[in-house]
Amino acid sequence: MDAFIIQGEKELKGEVQTSAAKNAALPILAATLLFPQKITFNNLPQISDISFFKKILESLGAKFDSNSVDTSDINKFVAEYDLVRKMRASILVLGPLLSRFKEAKVSLPGGCAIGSRPVDIHLESLRQMGAEITLEDGYINAKTNGLKGKHIYLSFPSVGATENLIMAAVWADGETIIDNAAFEPEITDLISFLKSFGVKIEGEGTRQIKIQGMKKEDFKTVENFSYSIIPDRIEAATYVIAGLITNSEITVNNCNPGHLDTVINTLKVMGAKLEVGYSSIKTFKSGRLNGTNMATSIYPGYPTDVQAQLMTLMGLSFGSSIVSEHIFENRYMHVPELNRMGMNIKLDGRNAIITGVDKIKAAPVMCTDLRASAALVLAALVAKGETKISRVYYIDRGYEKLAQKFAGLGASIERVKDV
Ligand code: UD1
């Protein structure tokens, strides 16, 4: 297991490139199961969640050749526990497998321990479309005589359930309407990908998505097809917060600021000086920011995936802040670690009450989930002394070349072997 050693109190400067979005790449990789042809990606992020997901697709019979995949020869419909347990997003193979092959067996997923994260909405909606689903020995067994288009109302606009249903609807008979759908930018990207193959979809960016099921005879191979995935808004936000927390001037390039409106507004309310361009965000030296209150919410609200990073900034701001986490019930695992470094954060159910301190000190800390780990890196960048962050494999799941990118901005960060 590797660790990061970070010497704090270094000013950052320069530019950093945003990578492609993990949360768009995963469902789009799952969607390759729908079409029997070669598909090339221009910018798959080099992160371990993508490597895991490729392994799952390979175990089903997909053939990868560098950044191309061909799912013409899928010959297995079982996503095994050993692969799936590492990542909740594995559930995304269920919809496309059922749609194209009429059967799927997927281990109940694992992933970061940030909450119980059931998949009831996925399963209930697929049942409405005509899937017979049973749970046995930790596996979801699903089969169908052919999915049927239905009008489905989601009890909660789950990102994964919306994606699974959109993919399930591609080869279903007739029209599927998803009401109370999630409309995160990553879902819109999945829809753009599907549209490239002639799937008729309306309503992206709204709470109602309509998908017309395709007929096999309507499918035509798209020659030399390549696809570019949208930039990772969570990664971009993490670097913007890094610029602010270190009181530095940095430019985060190749991002889509339009996907970060709520984060940018929250930072501005705190006093952040930012220059928002068409595809870049520049931070200016803004000094110590002011605390504020923030509640996570579904898009376009404040993203839960940038909660931990913002809390780190709040922990060093003037006055007090309150964060309310409404998406996941156990997403405060960074709090004890940040407190070990000298922050003053108290938990009360879904709320975190943060009393800003003016400095923090290095301490050995441990990653517990992907975004909590990013928060620890941010804290280490400003802490006095040398911070050792253990178990950085959590960071590898979702941040491409994080140590290199921060080193490029002038941070003192080194990856070492840990026991
Ligand atoms: C996706 C993102 C994740 C992000 C989250 C919320 C990917 C690969 N991951 O996760 O980074 O934090 O959206 O923006 O895109 N729920 C149920 N039943 C279900 C489905 C969900 O109760 O069937 C609950 C979950 O437990 C959770 C909440 O709904 O509390 C949100 O989950 P969901 O929107 O499905 O998130 P994911 O797709 O897992």
Q: What are the residue boundaries of the structural domains of the chain, listed by start?
A: 2-19+231-417, 22-227
Q: Tell me: pLDDT of 389 over 80.
A: yes
Residue 14 alpha carbon to ligand 1 centre in Å: 34
pLDDT of residue 83: 84
pLDDT of residue 117: 64
On the question of a common fold for 2-19+231-417 and 22-227, the answer reads yes
pLDDT classification of 314: cutoffs 50, 70, 90: very high
Average pLDDT over residues 388-417: 97
| Cβ–Cβ under 8 Å, residues 339 and 363 | no
The residue to mutate among 86, 153, 159, having the most atoms of ligand 1 within 8 angstroms of its beta carbon, is: 159
Whether 109 lines ligand 1, by a CB cut-off of 6 Å, is no
Q: Which atom of ligand 1 is nearest to the CA of 160?
A: 38
Instruction: Give the pTM.
Output: 0.97
How sure is the predictor about 85, in pLDDT bands with cuts at 50, 70 and 90?
confident
Class (C level, CATH) for 22-227: alpha beta
Distance, CA 88 to ligand 1 centroid (Å)? 9
Pocket flag, ligand 1, residue 43 (CB < 6 Å): no
* Gap from CA of 161 to ligand 1 centroid (Å): 8
Q: Lowest-confidence range among 131-145, 187-201, 260-274, 299-313?
A: 131-145
Q: Is the CB–ligand 1 distance for residue 266 below 6 Å?
A: no
pLDDT digits (tens, 9 = 90+) for 31-65: 999 999 999 999 999 999 999 999 999 999 999 99
- What is the pLDDT, as a whole number, of residue 341? 97
Cα 93 to ligand 1 centroid, rounded to whole Å: 15
pLDDT band at 84 (very low <50, low <70, confident <90, very high): confident
Pocket test for ligand 1, best of 112, 121, 135, 156 (most atoms within 8 A of CB): 156
Kindly report the protein residue whose alpha carbon is nearest to atom 33 of ligand 1. Answer: 158
Does the beta carbon of 89 sit less than 6 angstroms from any atom of ligand 1? yes
- Asked whether 26 lines ligand 1 (CB < 6 A), one says yes
The reply to whether ligand 1 has any atom less than 6 angstroms from the CB of 117 is yes
How would residue 68 be classed by pLDDT, with cut points 50, 70 and 90? very high
pLDDT above 50 (res 114): no
Among 3.65.10.10, 3.40.30.10, 3.40.50.1820, 2.40.30.200, what is the CATH number of 2-19+231-417? 3.65.10.10
Cβ of residue 371 lying under 6 Å from some atom of ligand 1: no
Check residue 418 and give its pLDDT: 85
At residue 112 the predicted structure's pLDDT band, cuts being 50, 70 and 90, is very low
Question: Would you give the distance in Å from CA 34 to the centre of its chain?
Answer: 22
Is residue 112 flagged as an active site residue?
yes
Please compute the mean of the pLDDT values over residues 240-254 and round it to a whole number. Answer: 98
Ligand 1 centre to CA of 301 (Å) is: 14
Q: What is the pLDDT of residue 118?
A: 85
Residue in 33, 112, 244, 270 annotated catalytic: 112
Mean pLDDT of the chain: 95
Q: 22 near 395, Cβ under 8 Å?
A: no
Q: Is the CB of 159 under 6 A from ligand 1?
A: yes
Tell me how far the alpha carbon of residue 304 lies from the centroid of ligand 1, in angstroms: 10
Q: How confident is the model at residue 113, as a pLDDT?
A: 52
